[in-house]
Homo-oligomer: A and B are copies of this chain.
Amino acid sequence: MARWLLWSLAMRSLLHQSFDPASRFARLMLAEKGLAARLVETGVGNEALARHNPALTIPVLIDEPPTGGEISVAPVAAIAEYLEEVYRDPPLLPSTSAGRAEARRLLHWFDVKFETEVNALIIRRRLDAKTQGRRWGEPEPIRQAAEAFAWHFDYLNYLLERRAFLAADRLTIADLVAAAHISVSDYFGLVPWSDFPDVRQWYARVKSRPSMRPLLADRLEGAAPAQCYADLDF
């Protein structure tokens, strides 16, 4: 289908940035629910952003739900709940209370803990430099980042010894938020795959889903992706 046709059919937009992990998580949820959306690359100073989200964060989902009206939803945790309530099929949360709590715990694990402990060390610096039109010049805390990765991947490993997916025996928002975050580090070749075969196997399964394809096609100007990035047999 021609791109403009998809756009005109979808009265739905996502204000996002291609390499922002939270934005990627929103794109994955939309795709898994089969919802087309116009992607609007949005800088933080953008006026549209202030109008739709006074907190000035991305992503923001602008939707016209089946019940009518236009609605702006942010931050990404609220987008997850909104999509799950309004577009139920397929569900991206488990059906039991315990399963739902586990999936939401992991959503915040990545949104807050992984973001602070891993992304902040390297990814954020590179992306910020990029947005500000300069090269990242400072030495990066590579060893610190490697340690943070190892700690987090040990934990994912622990979860995957017990379940087929992170929060349950089927795909949930926990896998999507995790894949969204990990994919950005993977673009820069920072993920220690060889030390974590079980996590790699899980990521290979998520990576081969159609919802991941547009993310794997993203390119950051002036920074080619690591070889493994779009390779399904990495």
A-to-B contact residues, CB < 8 Å: 53-55, 65, 67, 69, 71-75, 77-78, 81-82, 85-86, 96-98, 100-101, 104-105, 107-109, 112-113, 155
Main secondary structure of the interface of A (DSSP, over half): helix
A77-B104 CB under 8 A given contacts A55-B109, A109-B55: yes
Task: Knowing that A55-B109, A67-B96, A81-B100 touch, tell me 14 more A-B residue pairs with CB under 8 angstroms.
Answer: A53-B105, A55-B112, A55-B113, A67-B97, A74-B105, A77-B77, A78-B101, A78-B105, A78-B107, A78-B108, A81-B104, A82-B104, A85-B100, A86-B97
- Give A219 to B231 CA distance when docked, in angstroms: 58
Chain B residue nearest to A101 (CB atoms) is B73
Return 28 A-B CB contacts under 8 Å, by A number: A53-B105, A54-B155, A55-B105, A55-B108, A55-B109, A55-B112, A55-B113, A67-B97, A71-B97, A71-B101, A72-B101, A73-B101, A73-B105, A75-B112, A77-B77, A77-B104, A77-B108, A78-B101, A78-B104, A78-B105, A78-B107, A81-B100, A81-B104, A82-B97, A82-B104, A85-B97, A85-B100, A86-B97
